[in-house]
Chain A
Amino acid sequence: MFTTKILGGFKVQGGLVLSVLIFSLVAPGSFAHQQKSAVTRILFNANSGNIEIMHRFLVHDAEHAAAQIFGERQTLLESSESRQLFSSYVINRFAIDVEYANGASEELDLTYVGEELDGQFVWVYQEIENQTEIKAMTVISMALRDIWPGQSNLVNIEKAGEVLSLLFVGAAEVLTVKL
């Protein structure tokens, strides 16, 4: 850890640090092959009254990420433990802050539901019961983006047939959308 002086041409305030992430940056490069991208659906499920969060990653990306994060070989298609490890990583890199219609706001305490494989993809599920009308949502989606700068995460918020998208690319870390 060290105090930063100048980064990208502007001065960072004193006392702030640039902490080093302890894993190596070896993305399975992807020039002429498919680029790194994930999708998260945040679904207001009118039937169940829940907000459902469904994260979709390419299994191959997820496997390499899990190996880097947890420091040993992970096999996502074969091992449910590997998949759960990956899920724990994903849900730790994802958060939703909501602002309710009554002005109150809080971070949603999402419940982990599980994960499953579908073709080339691994899905990670979270949910929470929702009874209060939500005015705005602030989302953090860092999964894989803290490992590979080129990773882009698309978040679709689906409510009553409308889709609002947040795109986590470049320097986007925290994005807010009014519902």
Chain B
Amino acid sequence: MKKRAIFLGLTILMLGSNSVFSQGIQQTKGNYVDKFRQLDEVLPTPNVYRNAAGAPGHEYWQQEVDYEIVVSLDEENQHINGTTTINYKNNSPDTLNYLWLQLDQNRFQRESMAELTSTYNGSSPDAEDNDPARISLGQLRRLQYMSDADHGYQINAVTDNRENQLMYTVVGSLMRVDLVGPLPAGGDTELVVDFEFDIINGDVLSPRGGYEYFPNDENEGGNYIFALSQWFPRLVAYTDYEGWTNKEFLGSGEFTLEFGDYDVEITVPEDHIVASTGELQNPNNVLTTQQRDRLEEAKNAARPVYIVTPEEALENEAAGAITTKTWHFTAENVRDFAWSSSRKFIWDAKGHHQPNAEQELIMAMSFYPKEGGTLWSDYSTEVVIHTLDVYSRFSFDFPYPTAQSVNVGFLGGMEYPMITFNGPRTELQDDGTRTYSLSEKRFLIAVIIHEIGHFYFPMIVNSDERQWTWMDEGLNSYLDSVAGREWDAEMPWGVEPRFITDYMRSSNQVPVMTQSDSVLRLGPNAYSKPATAINILRETIMGRELFDFAFKEYSRLWEFKRPTPADFFRTMEEASGIDLDWFWRGWFYTTDHVDISLNRVYEMRIDTENPDIDYSRQRDYEKSHPPSVYIERNRQEGLLTWVERNTEVRDFYDDNDQFTVTNKERNRYNSFLEGLDDWERTALDRAVEEDLNYYILEFSNNGGLVMPIILDIEYASGARDEVRIPAEIWRRSPRSIKKLLVAEENIVSIIVDPLQETADTNIENNYYPRRIIDSRIESFKRQGGSSLLSRDIMNDITTEITTDVGDEEEDD
């Protein structure tokens, strides 16, 4: 308990100091919160590299790094040997004395920061209850794997292009190479790095790349699928906003990279098929005539064409090879390079055509083992093409010649330029067939769309993944839902606003604008929440036309460049003409949630000031009250009042109540009318003639996040109206506001956010008058404990129809 108290004290202190130091502008009196305060004080100052409109500035620069790599794969020892010649062009205005390289394989060293700071996530043993601690066999295998051998790079040499040794210092997953002389602005330099490493077992460590082993294949010793990513020393990005982005690789924050041209020669066993970033340069050396013919046929095929058929792949995987082959690939203007190799691969391809684009033909291709089965042959390549089609419509033409999906079992999905690794597989049944569940099929389609989508964000719109996961994952998750719903509208996607409400109302979360490695729950924080926010921006805040224009502009401006969050925020505003600072603030910089409540509605009618009308209305109003219970009961008991018993005694007031109009009131009304200006008279006359209903609606903002107020109004006649009030209604009073509505008819009910498009976390206070809203469990029970979706259709469909009705009745 004491611990807790101390902790609490600390927290409060920190909050206090935060608000003092991090806020330039402060509200120091009262409790007003400016939800619409412009972001100027938070965003970096515009400069010649990034302008105030969110576009690359007039002196925008980025480095260029070209690689020539010769690499060979030793299948038997799962080992990589390579030499990379790096040409570094310093386009920055700065002089560089050293270069930083990323050695991502070093993350798997025993002493890496990632490894040393990984936490034990199991239970602690409990002596009192004799409850053991638990550890899974998988975790045990991991411990053993790490103790058996150390991993990471072995750097054999770092030289300049004259084979002079260069000094280098390895710092965790980074390496600093000291240049012989300073590299001035505009200059370039060449270095050669000779490296090798043991490829990681993907099934043990769940890395982004590694090998998958198939011990039961017919081939003696089994077979492998190799997925090589983060496999060569890559230049750390040097940027105008952070200098060297040399932050240690901890696992969550992915990569910040430079664009450049690649020339890569990959030597693999002779019977392997290689899928790679880029375009194959020596098909004559590595493909058979038949394979080349099939590739040619695939260019204009209606459906994917096998380059390696399932039968040929089966034959390949039954026996190994002794000799090797070298596959030569080149890729222009890419920010990374990955490849995959296996004798197990079935390979299919289909040309995707972009009329009038610079890259008219794109070869969409899939590589998968027999374990991928028809799930892959039916869908993978087609999903790749569908994704390119949709994403290009929302951004730019796809600029590269290939787009590939490779089946790597230990990965959910992972993306590199022109190549993705995707996990879903079929299951072998006892009868030898391969089947897959509906959920697996949906996952395959979803994951391929998502990973192919990453070709655009961040492989081309090159955001800094290590700093801001949401910039590629959030935008991409938004777009994958667009593409997904165009693939099959029946397939559920995650960006529906109601799916994020449980996360957003939770008291334990961090803002979206949090560095990747510090994010508490990466899934909802960096994927679903920003994707939902973008979806709401399009459908609810900006509208499709403005949003699509602005988003396309952002994509176009930053194609092959390096945007930061500020560039995205600014471009979306500049291109649409909509001030969105409140939206970015609420959704990206705070942990507020949406909960708008309609607390009260007042119904009113205009006084005409004419006593002949108003007095009789007042009489009607008085009569509309329920009668006194006391008097009513007296009457029921037959009790007569004195007045009723003495009807012969009457005077003036028995015929004239307090609402009786005299000429005194009429004269006052006439002099009131005479005192009005013409415009006042016109306004009053019109209001009296129209005799409309006036409503005051009282709203409160319980969640803190300001959002538009969308109203579904139902009138007495049954007619309905939609009223959309922009979020700016909250600007002077962010906690509660009133709105005046005028209606011809009487309103009978109002619903706030009727289509649940704003991620409002509390639906109950959205109804006026209030309704009792069933909880999930209550409505589940009301439906008899099961929904239609829960039927076991695949099983039920085999049920035979009962023909003997008599029997059934007897059973009853």
Interface residues of A (CB under 8 A from B): 1, 4, 7-8, 12-13, 15-37, 39, 41, 43, 45, 47-48, 50, 52, 54, 56, 59-60, 63, 73-81, 83, 113-121, 123, 125, 127, 145-147, 149-150, 152, 154, 156, 161, 163-167, 169-171, 173
- Let me know if A16 and B412 touch, CB within 8 A: no
Residues of A within 8 A of B265 (CB): none
Checking B439, B507, B524 against A37 with a beta-carbon cut-off of 8 angstroms, the contacting residue is B524
* 14 A-B pairs (CB sep. < 8 Å): A8-B120, A16-B125, A32-B208, A32-B413, A34-B477, A34-B528, A45-B775, A60-B442, A78-B437, A115-B790, A119-B493, A146-B122, A161-B762, A167-B508
Of A1, A17, A56, A166, the most chain B CB neighbours within 10 A belong to: A17
Residues of A within 8 A of B141 (CB): 25
B471 → A minimal CB distance (Å): 13
Residues of B within 8 A of A74 (CB): 437
- Let me know if A7 and B506 touch, CB within 8 A: no
Main secondary structure of the interface of B (DSSP, over half): mixed
A6 → B minimal CB distance (Å): 12
- Let me know if A25 and B138 touch, CB within 8 A: yes
Residues of A within 8 A of B413 (CB): 30-33
- Let me know if A163 and B507 touch, CB within 8 A: yes
Residues of A within 8 A of B119 (CB): 170-171
Whether A145 contacts B794 in the complex (CB less than 8 A), given A35-B521, A154-B502, A167-B521, comes out as: no
CA A165 to CA B509, docked complex, whole Å: 9
Chain B 206-234 interface 0/1 with A at a Cβ cutoff of 8 Å (1 = within)? 10100000000000000000000000000
A11 → B minimal CB distance (Å): 11
The A-contacting residues of B in range 746-794, CB under 8 angstroms, are 762, 772, 775-778, 780-781, 785-787, 789-794
Q: Determine whether B344 belongs to the interface, using a CB cutoff of 8 Å to chain A.
A: no
Checking B439, B473, B509, B793 against A59 with a beta-carbon cut-off of 8 angstroms, the contacting residue is B439
Q: 9 closest pairs, A vs B, by CB?
A: A25-B138, A119-B492, A35-B523, A16-B125, A165-B506, A75-B437, A30-B412, A149-B121, A165-B508
User: Who on chain A is nearest to B125 by CB?
Assistant: A16
- Let me know if B492 and A29 touch, CB within 8 A: no
Number of A-B contacts (CB under 8 A): 238
- Let me know if A17 and B137 touch, CB within 8 A: no
Residues of B within 8 A of A13 (CB): 125, 127
- Let me know if A48 and B136 touch, CB within 8 A: no
Residues of A within 8 A of B450 (CB): 32-33
- Let me know if A152 and B521 touch, CB within 8 A: yes
Whether A123 contacts B503 in the complex (CB less than 8 A), given A18-B134, A35-B527, comes out as: no
A42 → B minimal CB distance (Å): 11
Chain B 394-435 interface 0/1 with A at a Cβ cutoff of 8 Å (1 = within)? 000000000000000011111100000001100100000000
Of A18, A20, A31, the most chain B CB neighbours within 10 A belong to: A31
Checking B142, B411, B447, B787 against A116 with a beta-carbon cut-off of 8 angstroms, the contacting residue is B787
- Let me know if B786 and A114 touch, CB within 8 A: yes
- Let me know if A169 and B521 touch, CB within 8 A: yes
The A-contacting residues of B in range 459-506, CB under 8 angstroms, are 473, 477, 492-494, 496, 499, 502-503, 505-506
- Let me know if A21 and B134 touch, CB within 8 A: yes
Q: Determine whether B135 belongs to the interface, using a CB cutoff of 8 Å to chain A.
A: yes
Residues of B within 8 A of A17 (CB): 125, 132-133
- Let me know if B795 and A147 touch, CB within 8 A: no
CA A96 to CA B781, docked complex, whole Å: 23
CA A107 to CA B250, docked complex, whole Å: 39
CA A146 to CA B122, docked complex, whole Å: 7
- Let me know if B125 and A125 touch, CB within 8 A: no
- Let me know if B133 and A16 touch, CB within 8 A: yes
Checking B124, B208, B520, B775 against A43 with a beta-carbon cut-off of 8 angstroms, the contacting residue is B775
Whether A15 contacts B138 in the complex (CB less than 8 A), given A163-B507, A171-B119, comes out as: no
- Let me know if B121 and A171 touch, CB within 8 A: yes
- Let me know if A77 and B137 touch, CB within 8 A: no
- Let me know if B492 and A32 touch, CB within 8 A: no
The A-contacting residues of B in range 107-142, CB under 8 angstroms, are 119-127, 130, 132-142
A56 → B minimal CB distance (Å): 7
- Let me know if B136 and A23 touch, CB within 8 A: yes
Residues of B within 8 A of A37 (CB): 521, 523-524
- Let me know if B787 and A117 touch, CB within 8 A: yes
Checking A4, A54, A59 against B133 with a beta-carbon cut-off of 8 angstroms, the contacting residue is A4
User: Who on chain A is nearest to B450 by CB?
Assistant: A33
- Let me know if B437 and A63 touch, CB within 8 A: yes
